[in-house]
Structure 1
Amino acid sequence: MLTCQMIDEAAVVLRGVVRPTEIIHSPFYSKMLGAPLYFKCENHQHTGSFKIRGAYHFLSKRPAEQLANGVVTASVGNHGKGVASAASLLNCSCRVIMPEGVPLSKELAPLQYGAAVELYGQTHEEADSYARQLAAKDNLLYIPAFDHELIMAGQGTIGLEILQELPTIESLLVPIGGGGLISGIATAIKAVRPGVRIIGVEAAGVASASLARRNGHPKTISTRTHSFAEEVAVKRVGELTFPIMEHYVDDVITVDEESIARAIVSLMEKGNLFVEGAGAVGLAALIYGFRSVRKESTLCLLSGGNLDIHNMARVVEKGMLAEGRYLRLRLEMADIPGALAHLTHILSELQANIFQVNHDRHKSSLPLGEAEVLLDLETRGAEHIQEILMRLEDERYRPEVIY
């Protein structure tokens, strides 16, 4: 079983290897919630996430002969990057198996640390099974993503840092994937401050911790799933992590994809913080759906900041749509000189910012003498959208909302 002594020993091992990430107070969100809110910024860790803590600690505790032939792991992103970095620091070769279709930035990340990357299978589970086969065939050391005491102990050093810098903390929101992160942190904190509420947050579409709690044991989610919070989209929590979560974690809650996207956008705009989906789930729960927000000193763990740049536009667009900040319209109008200028003048009066306009007079389905216009608009909320639609209706444009 994981012990506090193991976490203390991990802190010694990791000294000078990982960054003791800062805890920052957020005046904006504190005012919104009516209570102090803090962020623990593991998105500022050397590899962009907390994963290097567990990976390095795990490898550092293995005998040299186990590292001689190299190591192998499976990952959709952060774990592979953390393992590759740790292996580089310890001068052992590393292979990272990733499912096909993983974002290119995730695929390339381990390469900068000298690891070899191989794509296999359609899911993390298939990639993980293949990594275990390679470990047996080539006598490599397999590194689990979360379900091992040494991994949990490394992640638990975050809890020690929280206690040292913010000893008055009353509640803590932590992302849950397989459970290694929250198990380590909860073990460290509850040993010293048993009254601190530990709340786990997971994506609603991949709620494996909630499923395990309902059944009393880990159970695999059978359906194919996807989430903006891909780093916590784990279909089954660990056999070792589950009893620790049951013992120490006070509540497990879920957040939907819309809330995650909104939280990512909000952190960019209001907090000047760049986080991935998994890193945003805690704030998403607090401001968009947590059923029992208490007026107490609260900390959200921002677990990572490795948001794929190509997915960022999609996530931001989703978040802005949810906030009523983005509107795409289709309408038809007379194809005469000055018609488009008149339309843009109306939108200017309404203070709608035009992102993009597409004017098409050649579409075969259009009546003679008419043109189709597609508009992407920046808006200020639901009321502003209704104001725009009503004005365009009054002007006989018959707007059709695409999204």
Structure 2
Amino acid sequence: MNLDDVVIARERMKGIVHMTPLDFSQTFSSLSGNEVYLKLENLQKTGSFKVRGSYNKLNSLSEDELKKGVVAASAGNHAQGVAYSSKMLGIPCTIVMPKGAPLSKVLATRRYGAEVILEGAVFDEALSHAQQLKDQMGATFIHAFDDHAVIAGQGTVGLEILEQLPDVDAIICPVGGGGLIAGVALAVKKKKPDIKVYGVQTLACPSMKHSLEQNQPVAVQAAPTMADGIAVQKPGQETFKIIRDYVDDLFCVDEMEIARTMLMLLERNKLLVEGSGASPLAALLNNEKTNLKNKKIAVVLSGGNVDVNFISRIIERGLVESGRYAQFTLTLKDKSGELQKVLSYITELEANIQTVNLHRMGKHIYPGYVQLELSVETKNQEHIEQLYNLLQIKGFHIKLEE
């Protein structure tokens, strides 16, 4: 695989996929001490970069292979990318998803014209069934990342960044199976070897980082993560080789950093970005991870397919992590005026009380006392500490819920 493969992929997908914006962000530039540009693949067709690789792969098939159709296994963005690409080419497409796949993603994939089969409790079982279908139907299996044509398609993101920001110093990408960063790194390094390319994984599933440390692809046990798009337990053989040769370093972020970044993107830039897409920016904002200063940096926001039911949880989690929301439990004397005192102290510090619950019965509530539960909208962690300290000084027994 070489740069020509990526250039050919770019020509193939003209008019089919978007050349997504590379948007300068004053907010994140100030926060990171760099000149930060956001590559908005969350605005790509199907909501993620995945359509690039799948479309290029399908275009590389022979006429006979196209007639027999394609099969893929995915619970997320790859499914929609393959389904959309198949629709553009007018070929049969079957996607196998685990039975627990979000309904929104199942419906979105079907809307692109694919036949969706729900099989297995987990992704590995869906993948096994997809492999069986491929053999039965004589169809071509479309791998999510470990395929040269797929990698070349994803590499077009790198070519676009070079056109949009020729003097870029560094590019930061999320890393799951490695298809995106492998394609970007190969394309960029072949044209401009001095540009740094960095990858970001979650601490919940650092498979590529561990693989590089052991100099071979290894599997890790994944913990639950909101960045499910990059929670790949074992990277690909081909992607590993390219990343080993062309990527400068990999960093890891935790759930708190991802949630905070998702909320900041939504609030400051009006961008809905999924956990995997927000992870590169989360790493950049945590300066001790990347140690980048005074550089022109392109951050790839790889996708924006967030389940509607999950958005409110992300907002709540982000508010808690950034000190914008707190819950207190207080023990009060059960007499007139005590509740009013507490509420007045809180409003004096300009916190916004959202809910108030008063309990007179409970295991740890003694006669003559009540338990008060409060949820409060706050400004930051320092503001929460001010509230806590004031209520303690006023003589209330208080517990700050984690």
Shorter-chain TM-score above 0.5: yes
User: 1:376 offset after TM fit, Å?
Assistant: 1.6
Structure 1 stretch 363-372 or stretch 33-42: which is displaced more? 363-372
User: 1:365 offset after TM fit, Å?
Assistant: 5.4
Listed as ranges, the matches of 1:3-402 within 5 Å are: 3-221=2-220, 223-288=221-286, 289-363=288-362, 366-402=365-401
| Cα distance change, pair 291–63 in 1 and its aligned pair in 2 (3 A) | closer
Structure 1 stretch 342-351 or stretch 36-45: which is displaced more? 342-351
- Whichever residue aligns with residue 147 of structure 1, its letter is D
- Residues 251, 290 of structure 2: 8 Å contact kept: no
Structure 2: runs of 5 or more not aligned:
none
| Cα distance change, pair 148–360 in 1 and its aligned pair in 2 (3 A) | same
Structure 1 stretch 371-380 or stretch 274-283: which is displaced more? 371-380
| Cα distance change, pair 387–309 in 1 and its aligned pair in 2 (3 A) | same
- Residues 161, 298 of structure 2: 8 Å contact kept: no
Structure 1 stretch 273-282 or stretch 391-400: which is displaced more? 391-400
Structure 1 stretch 132-141 or stretch 188-197: which is displaced more? 132-141
Give distance in 1, aligned partners of 2:344 and 2:13: 60
Measured against aligned partners, the alpha-carbon deviations of 1:278-320 in whole angstroms (never above 9, x if no partner) come to 1111111011242422321111000001112222222222222
Measured against aligned partners, the alpha-carbon deviations of 1:380-400 in whole angstroms (never above 9, x if no partner) come to 222211111112223333121
- Residues 120, 130 of structure 1: 8 Å contact kept: yes
Identity of aligned residues (%): 37
Give distance in 2, aligned partners of 1:263 and 1:104: 26
TM-score (norm 1): 0.94
- Whichever residue aligns with residue 261 of structure 1, its letter is A
Measured against aligned partners, the alpha-carbon deviations of 1:201-244 in whole angstroms (never above 9, x if no partner) come to 111111111111011111111x2422111101101111111111
Structure 1: runs of 5 or more not aligned:
none
Give distance in 1, aligned partners of 2:348 and 2:27: 31
Give distance in 2, aligned partners of 1:72 and 1:359: 56
Structure 1 stretch 120-129 or stretch 83-92: which is displaced more? 120-129
User: 1:344 offset after TM fit, Å?
Assistant: 2.1
- Whichever residue aligns with residue 106 of structure 2, its letter is E
Give distance in 1, aligned partners of 2:375 and 2:132: 49
Aligned residue for 2:357, secondary structure, equals strand
Measured against aligned partners, the alpha-carbon deviations of 1:311-348 in whole angstroms (never above 9, x if no partner) come to 22222222222222221122232444554343322211
- Residues 222, 231 of structure 2: 8 Å contact kept: no
Give distance in 1, aligned partners of 2:205 and 2:347: 43
Structure 1 stretch 343-352 or stretch 141-150: which is displaced more? 343-352
- Residues 173, 301 of structure 1: 8 Å contact kept: yes
Give distance in 2, aligned partners of 1:356 and 1:350: 17
Measured against aligned partners, the alpha-carbon deviations of 1:122-164 in whole angstroms (never above 9, x if no partner) come to 4323322221122112322211000111101111111111111
| Cα distance change, pair 361–124 in 1 and its aligned pair in 2 (3 A) | same
- Residues 262, 274 of structure 2: 8 Å contact kept: yes
Structure 1 consecutive aligned stretches of length 4 or more whose deviation exceeds 6 Å: none
- Whichever residue aligns with residue 378 of structure 1, its letter is E
- Whichever residue aligns with residue 273 of structure 1, its letter is L
Aligned residue for 2:47, secondary structure, equals coil
Structure 1 stretch 205-214 or stretch 321-330: which is displaced more? 321-330
Give distance in 2, aligned partners of 1:291 and 1:189: 19
Give distance in 2, aligned partners of 1:100 and 1:349: 51
Give distance in 2, aligned partners of 1:263 and 1:123: 28
Give distance in 2, aligned partners of 1:318 and 1:336: 35
Structure 1 stretch 322-331 or stretch 274-283: which is displaced more? 322-331
- Residues 179, 237 of structure 1: 8 Å contact kept: yes
TM-score (norm 2): 0.95
Aligned residue for 2:212, secondary structure, equals helix
User: 1:362 offset after TM fit, Å?
Assistant: 4.8
Give distance in 2, aligned partners of 1:376 and 1:116: 46
User: 1:19 offset after TM fit, Å?
Assistant: 0.5
Give distance in 1, aligned partners of 2:312 and 2:371: 26
- Residues 356, 372 of structure 2: 8 Å contact kept: yes
Give distance in 2, aligned partners of 1:354 and 1:67: 60
- Residues 76, 231 of structure 1: 8 Å contact kept: no
- Residues 153, 183 of structure 2: 8 Å contact kept: yes
Measured against aligned partners, the alpha-carbon deviations of 1:148-196 in whole angstroms (never above 9, x if no partner) come to 1110111111111111111000001011111110111111111111000
Structure 1 stretch 267-276 or stretch 365-374: which is displaced more? 365-374
- Residues 34, 292 of structure 2: 8 Å contact kept: no
- Whichever residue aligns with residue 78 of structure 1, its letter is N
**Count of paired positions:** 401
- Whichever residue aligns with residue 163 of structure 2, its letter is Q
Aligned residue for 2:95, secondary structure, equals strand
Give distance in 1, aligned partners of 2:383 and 2:361: 32
| Cα distance change, pair 127–332 in 1 and its aligned pair in 2 (3 A) | same
- Residues 174, 199 of structure 2: 8 Å contact kept: yes
